[in-house]
Structures are given as structure tokens and as C-alpha cells.
């Protein structure tokens, strides 16, 4: 579990550095097939990861407004702020937590039950999904995307 969170964090940091080479207009431009544009997608990834971790910890969740974070610097600052709490939870993870149950009431009144392990894996897959979208958008503006390759990052050795 920890390895895949570290993978996502490394790739995310590479996307932040990639964004430094792109003008702000291209970072904010709304694109097809996602939650907005490049910067808004990075914001969304950070917010969703943090939200799931808070929910599992029984802490209140609230949605940050992207309108307050419409610069690369502000999104990076939010990442740094939220990451501390996420890392603490991820690094304290043990296999006994995998099967804990989480119940939530959906807007239509249905009650759904998932395990903590499913939710954690969903958070990992959610980011990977959006990183794929960023890669497509990078190519659309004529830039090479960040490599999504897990191999060669020495993550299993840490």
C-alpha cells in the first residue's frame, strides 16, 4: 500500500515540475474529459486523497474551492499542507486495517459498506486515472508527459 502512495507522490511532484515549464493559461484552460484543466486536476487529486484519509480517520471532510487555488504555487502549498496528514496515516497503515468497515449514506439514501483497504486502493487508482488524463493533455499542447513507469523508481527497496 505504502509503495503505491509513494509512487503517486513522486509522479505528482514530477508533474508539478513539468507544470513550471507551461504557461499559466495552458494550466488553467478547461479541457475535455476531466474535472477541468491541468491545474484543477492536480488540485482535485490532492483534495480527494486528503478527503478519503480524513473520512477514514473519522475527521470532518470539507471540499476546498479551486477558485482559491488557481496558481501552481497555491496548489503546491495545498499539497504540502495536506500531505503531512496523509503521510502520517499511510505510514501508520498495517494489514489489520485492511478489513475495517466503512459505511456511508449516499445522496439517494442508500447505505454502502466498503473496507478501508478498498478505499485506500481506490484513492491510489483515482490518482493514476487522472495522471493518464494529464498525459493526454500534455501531448495536446506538444509537451512530453511525465513517465508513469513504476519500474526504475526503486520504490520496493524503501
* Grid coordinates belonging to 89: 496515516
pLDDT in tens, 103-145: 988 889 999 999 999 999 999 999 999 999 999 999 999 999 9
The strand ranges marked E within 20-149 are: 101-105, 111-115
The whole-angstrom separation of Cα 137 and Cα 133 is 6
* 15 closest CA partner among 155, 128, 156: 128
The half-sphere exposure of 156 on its side-chain side, counting CA atoms within 13 A, is: 3
Q: With beta carbons less than 8 A apart as the criterion, state whether 117 and 101 touch.
A: no
pLDDT in tens, 34-81: 899 999 999 999 999 999 999 999 998 878 899 999 999 999 999 999
pLDDT at 155: 87
Higher pLDDT, 156 or 30: 30
* Grid coordinates belonging to 18: 513539468
- Tell me whether residue 101 is exposed, middle or buried, using C-beta atoms within 10 angstroms of its C-beta: 0 to 12, 13 to 18, 19 or more: exposed
Q: Map out the domains of the chain as residue ranges.
A: 2-101+111-140
Superfamily of domain 2-101+111-140: dinb family like domain (1.20.120.450)
* 56 closest CA partner among 102, 92, 87, 4: 102
pLDDT at 8: 97
pLDDT at 64: 83
157 confidence band (pLDDT: 50, 70, 90) = low
Helices within 29-71 (DSSP H only): 38-56
DSSP 97: G
pLDDT at 33: 86
Amino acid at each position: 500500500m505504502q509503495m503505491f502512495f509513494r509512487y503517486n507522490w513522486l509522479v505528482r511532484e514530477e508533474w508539478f515540475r513539468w507544470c513550471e515549464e507551461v504557461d499559466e493559461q495552458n494550466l488553467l484552460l478547461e479541457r475535455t474529459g476531466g474535472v477541468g484543466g491541468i491545474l484543477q486536476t492536480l488540485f482535485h487529486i490532492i483534495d480527494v486523497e486528503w478527503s478519503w484519509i480524513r473520512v477514514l480517520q473519522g475527521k470532518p471532510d470539507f471540499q476546498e474551492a479551486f477558485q482559491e487555488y488557481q496558481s501552481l504555487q497555491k496548489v503546491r502549498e495545498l499539497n504540502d499542507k495536506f500531505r503531512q496528514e496523509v503521510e502520517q496515516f499511510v505510514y501508520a497503515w498495517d494489514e489489520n486495517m485492511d478489513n475495517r468497515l466503512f459505511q456511508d449514506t449516499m445522496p439517494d439514501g442508500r447505505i454502502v459498506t466498503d473496507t478501508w483497504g478498498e478505499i485506500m486502493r481506490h484513492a491510489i487508482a483515482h490518482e493514476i486515472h487522472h495522471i493518464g488524463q494529464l498525459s493526454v493533455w500534455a501531448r495536446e499542447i506538444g509537451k512530453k508527459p511525465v513517465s508513469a513507469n513504476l519500474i526504475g523508481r526503486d520504490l520496493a527497496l524503501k
